[in-house]
Chain A
Amino acid sequence: MDAPRRKSALALDAVYTGAQRCDHAKMRALTKPLSCVLFATLMASCAPDPPKDTPAAADQPELVQADEQPEPAAPAAAPAISTGDCDAHQAGLSTRADERAQPWGIAQHLEKNFPGMKVSWLMKEGPYQTFVVESQAAKFGRCNETGCYLFAAPTAVIEAAVESSLTGETHDPALLGQALGLPAQNFEGPLRMMTLDLAATRACVRLPDDDDPGVWKCQSEADQDCFKFGGYTSGGVPELMVIDAPVAHASIREIQ
């Protein structure tokens, strides 16, 4: 095997066996220099196992004829990267933020950090009950006449941080804070983790800016949890500004 093919094969092995799951996009990229057959073979092996509670299926004779092999399952299409449905005001703010962030921008940010187009955020139980449940909010975030503004991070990042903080039935605020680069006190007590599918809801997203509602302006270099422009929190977590995130379409998880 030549060097480029060997490199791809090794990387593929890491994606396929190391992660214990099928990352379709990475597999497609890595199998490109090998062959289409290899990609198809791997994708077929990604298909879910047959149900285990149907023992009769194992006893049934194979009905598929030798020359009628089933087609490998098509890979699930990755959600299209999109900034959603932004009105003229938000589109203008997004353009200005992209100009400021050059050569970075919302498109690259989504592509790199939000490939699944799912976002999550955390809220302490008290404010969640007060400002979401009791107020029967239709949209998440701080709302004014131009929209409701919400900071959100990639679901995979928040989920991994939460999972790493769980100790039995409760979470450890220090571990969660460490994972997200934020003070532990932000995570003391019961929390809610909200998740929104951007592809399904078409909620408008853009890079956050200093003038957005809720921005904590840095007072000094020592501040570790204040806003820094560029699409990342001061703790290095990717973040987005989501406009008009609908409460009805979010999934909400309790974290004790």
Chain B
Amino acid sequence: MSAEQVVYQSPMLYRLLRDGSEALIIEVVVGGIAMSAVRVRLSDDEAAHYARAGSSYSDQLAQAITANPRFDGRAYPSPAGPSPAAG
């Protein structure tokens, strides 16, 4: 069984995952003619913001990551492998 669960998946090509330690991770497709995916682990503040505002906040966060895929050094490449279970 996967240690990650999909919390939310958006048609804007991103999804929110919850890992085994209950942390929220956002996975975002970045790039133009060559697309890949990066992940960013949400801070406690960001996770709390998401808990309050839901997808309107995650939309903003995903947009900020596509506009700056290194995300000030917080982004890391999405691992290749089987998808986590839907949550």
Bitwise interface map of A from 214 to 226 toward B, beta carbon under 8 Å scored 1, else 0: 1111010000010
B1 part of interface (Cβ distance < 8 Å): no
**Chain B residues, CB < 8 A from A121:** 32-35
Q: How large is the interface on A (under 10, 10 to 19, 20 to 34, 35 or more residues)?
A: 35 or more
**Chain B residues, CB < 8 A from A237:** 33
Closest to B6 in A: A130
Closest to B72 in A: A219
Bitwise interface map of A from 98 to 139 toward B, beta carbon under 8 Å scored 1, else 0: 000000000000000000000001111111011100110100
Interface stretch among B18-26, B45-53, B73-81?
B73-81
Q: How large is the interface on B (under 10, 10 to 19, 20 to 34, 35 or more residues)?
A: 20 to 34
Contact B15 A130, beta carbon cutoff 8 Å: yes
Closest to A225 in B: B31
Bitwise interface map of B from 46 to 87 toward A, beta carbon under 8 Å scored 1, else 0: 000000000000000001001111000000011111010000
Which residues of A does B touch, CB under 8 Å? Answer: 121-127, 129-131, 134-135, 137, 141-144, 148, 151-153, 158, 180, 182, 185-187, 189-190, 208, 213-217, 219, 225, 227, 233, 237, 239
Q: List 8 A-B contacts (CB under 8 A).
A: A126-B81, A127-B35, A127-B78, A141-B13, A142-B66, A144-B12, A216-B30, A216-B67
